[in-house]
Amino acid sequence: KIKGLSMSASVSHVADLGRQSVEQARETRRKIEIECSQKQEELRELVGVRYKDFIEAADTIAAMGIKAQDILSIASTLGELSSKLVSVSCDLETVDHGQNTQDLANKARDIFEITNASEKINASLDAGHFVDAAMILRRARATLKALVKVPTPGTSRWLAHPYVHFKARSLLSAKLSTEVVSSAEEYL
C-alpha cells in the first residue's frame, strides 16, 4: 500500500460526485489529481531507488564473476605448473639417485593426488557423493602417511614445498573430516 492512498476513499469520492455541486465536484477532482500526482512522484522515486540498487548490485556481481574467473585461471595454471614441477623433479631424482622410474612415477602421482584431494573432496560433496568424498579423504591421508613414513630425498623436498605442505596439512585437519561428515548428515 502506498502511503496515504486509500482505494475506498477514491471510490467514495467518485460516488459522492453525483450528490455534489459543480464547485464541490471541481474541488474533489482537484484533490484527487493532487493525490494522484503525489503518488506518481512517490512511485517514481521508489522505482528510481530500486533501479539504482539493482544497477549497483549488477556491477558488483559482474566484478565478482570476473574475479572468480581470474582466480580459477590462476589456480588451474598453478596446478599445471605443480604437475610439471613434480615431473621434472622426479626426472632429476632419477638421475641423482638412480631410482627406478616406476617408483618415482608412483611417488609423483601420490604427491599430485595429495595436492588435488581437497578439490576432489569438495566436488564430491557438491555433487552429493559423500561416500566418494570420504574415500578420497581416506586414500589421500593414507598416501600422505606412507610418504612420510618412508621418505626419500625427493619426496621430503616435495613435502617441504610450501604449496604441497599446505595441501597436506589441510588433509590432516579435523575441519575437513567434520565437513565431510556434516555434509552427509545434512543430506541424510
Output DSSP code: residue 20. Answer: S
Q: Which residues contact 48 (CB under 8 A, 6 or more apart)?
A: none
Q: Which amino acid is at 125?
A: L
- The domain total for the chain is 2
CB of 78 within 8 A of CB of 163? Answer: yes
Q: Which of 156, 140, 147, 139 is nearest to 89 (CA)?
A: 156
Name residues of the chain where pLDDT drops below 50: 1-5, 95-96
CB of 163 within 8 A of CB of 82? Answer: yes
172 domain residue, yes or no: yes
* Whole-Å CA distances, 64 to 50, 134, 142: 21, 31, 37
Q: Which residues contact 133 (CB under 8 A, 6 or more apart)?
A: 120, 121, 124, 125, 180, 183
181 domain residue, yes or no: yes
Q: What angle do helix axes 162-172 and 130-149 make, rounded to 10 degrees?
A: 120
Query: What tens digit of pLDDT does each residue of 70-119 get?
Result: 888 887 787 777 767 766 665 555 544 555 667 777 777 888 888 888 88
Question: What is the predicted pLDDT for the residue at 43?
Answer: 92
Question: What is the predicted pLDDT for the residue at 26?
Answer: 85
**186 is written with which cell numbers?**
545434512
58 domain residue, yes or no: yes
- Do 62 and 116 lie in a common domain? no
Q: Which of 114, 175, 119 is nearest to 146 (CA)?
A: 114
Question: What is the predicted pLDDT for the residue at 2?
Answer: 44
Question: What is the predicted pLDDT for the residue at 103?
Answer: 73
pTM above 0.85, yes or no: no
Range of the domain at 151: 99-187
124 domain residue, yes or no: yes
